[in-house]
Amino acid sequence: MLKTEDFIKISDYKYKHTLNNAVIYIDDIANVESESLKQLINVSKLPGLVGDAIAMPDIHWGYGFPIGCVACTNYNENGIISPGGIGFDINCGVRLIRTNLKHTEIQKYKEKILDELFKEVPAGLSSESDIRLSKNDFKKAILKGVNWALEEDYANKNDINFIEDNGFKKDCTFDYISKEAIDRGKNQLGTLGSGNHFLELQIVDEIYDEYIANKLNLFKDQVVLMIHCGSRGFGHQIATDFINLMLKVMESKYKIKVEDKQLACVPANSDEGQKYIYSMNLAANFAFINRQIITYKIRKVFKKILNIKEVEIVYDISHNMATIEDYFYNSKKYKLVMHRKGATRALPPYHPSLPKEYQEIGQPVLIPGDMGRYSFVLVGTETAYKETFGHTCHGAGRIKSRSQAKKTINYQELMKELEAKGISIRAASKATVVEEAPQAYKDALNVVDIVHNANISKKVAKLRPIGVVKG
């Protein structure tokens, strides 16, 4: 088993493996489980890797790649693409929505708001939407991304400016999508799903940088909402289908050997690699529409209960995705396959991908914590662009598996603890609440302090949950 001593400290918040191209941003390497470090080393041995395989402080064991990992491969020189480096929930991501309300203005309406949100936004493992599309209409919608939502009045024109990639991946097709994927996804647009996905009613609890917060139109005691979900069964089936395909051709056709079969991969520019990329992008479009419809439902609830129309997107960002990007590394230009598995883009100020409103401050980085403590808003930095290919952490990171949480956490006691903190819960399943208890996660404050102190992103605001909708 891998030993933490195999990593040497090269700065206060950064360790590097002594033999392999693997680094981790952490305050103490002893706090990282050896299984996830072993996965990081396995990733560092993948064909075509450029630079290091990079782990963030929220690292934990995952499928093939550890969760909290960035790995970039050389697209033009048989660098691989691996579904395990994206995850089963393709374009799982976070959207932050702001209102112009203060905490005191909604306190007496909170329970009613949560009741309506729980009614409007289906949650749970097999939850289905009230938006029903034929297979043909479903295909047309997903091919357009959030542009479809705009056409159907689920979005405002201004929304698109504040969604990563404007909510649309153009390089996509249904040519390689299985019937099972379509059947699983067709009735799930506008649903949360289960597991760690949520819709939270939050309060801006603390501002760390007044100037940047003002640029984001965030202020203390403000009511905001955070959505965390992805591509549901549609993305899961696409990942499953392509992992099975790559396992068949990886060695026989491309002579690729990996340390772990869960790292199944092919050259990104191969036939199978291209088919996966176009299919992955389709799942990304699904996730963008999914979060957009949930936003539409949130607006509907706030209009109904408080007659409030000013419900606007701060930003929408993915943390399970691969993108093909031009990038200068060690003064050489590469076309990279950027795998981000539980990692968030942290683009610096004046990056061309940013909306004009955020050019001066850098890209908003949205970090969900746990339902009992806090979440965070950060922004990207130049250091991240130089050291981590423009990435940072994505969340708190688990310290207890779901089965461990169920064995050690009592539902009734947990609910009392949350109630004492003024946090109300609406959930489709008691089991999910226990699995997602605060005790199952690292302290998100420690995680964001590490990336802040390492200067790969900068803290802007802390958000406190007052109401949670879960599957």
Domain boundaries, the chain: 4-470
Structure tokens that stand for 334 in this block: 């590469």
Report, as an integer, the average pLDDT of 146-168.
Answer: 97
The pLDDT-based confidence of 4 (bands split at 50, 70, 90) is confident
Of 197, 228, 236, 394, catalytic: 394
pLDDT-above-70 percentage for the chain:
99
Predicted confidence (pLDDT) at residue 3 exceeds the cutoff of 80? no
Q: Scanning the structure block, which residue is given the tokens 């899961």?
A: 236
Task: Give CA–CA dist 247/265, Å, rounded.
Answer: 7
Residue closest to 448 by CA, chosen among 434, 436, 460: 460
Task: Give CA–CA dist 221/242, Å, rounded.
Answer: 45
Report, as an integer, the average pLDDT of 264-268.
Answer: 98
Question: Residue 78: its pLDDT value, please?
Answer: 85
Pick the residue with more confidence: 462 or 128? 462
Average pLDDT taken over every residue of the chain: 96
Burial classification of residue 171, based on how many CB atoms lie within 10 Å of its CB (0-12 exposed, 13-18 middle, 19 or more buried): exposed
Predicted confidence (pLDDT) at residue 1 exceeds the cutoff of 60? no
Please give the biggest Cα pair distance in the chain.
64
C-alpha 219, offset from chain centre: 24
Active-site residue, 103 included: no
Q: Does an H or E element contain 241, and which? A: helix 232-254
* β pairing state of 7-11 and 375-379: unpaired
Report, as an integer, the average pLDDT of 380-386.
Answer: 97
Rounded to 10°, the helix 271-306/135-144 angle is 90
The residue type of 360 is: E
Tens of pLDDT, residues 198-233: 999 999 999 999 999 999 999 999 999 999 999 999
Sign, Cα dihedral of 166, 382, 41, 9: negative
Report the length, in residues, of the chain: 471
Residue closest to 316 by CA, chosen among 280, 285, 282: 285
Tens of pLDDT, residues 291-336: 999 999 999 999 999 998 899 999 999 999 999 999 999 989 999 9
**Alpha carbon separation from 349 to 79, 358, 364, 411, 454 (Å, rounded):** 29, 8, 10, 44, 17
The CATH homologous superfamily of the domain defined by 4-470: tRNA-splicing ligase RtcB (3.90.1860.10)
The pLDDT-based confidence of 45 (bands split at 50, 70, 90) is very high
Residue closest to 424 by CA, chosen among 206, 200, 225, 229: 200
pLDDT-above-90 percentage for the chain:
93
Structure tokens that stand for 8 in this block: 């040497």
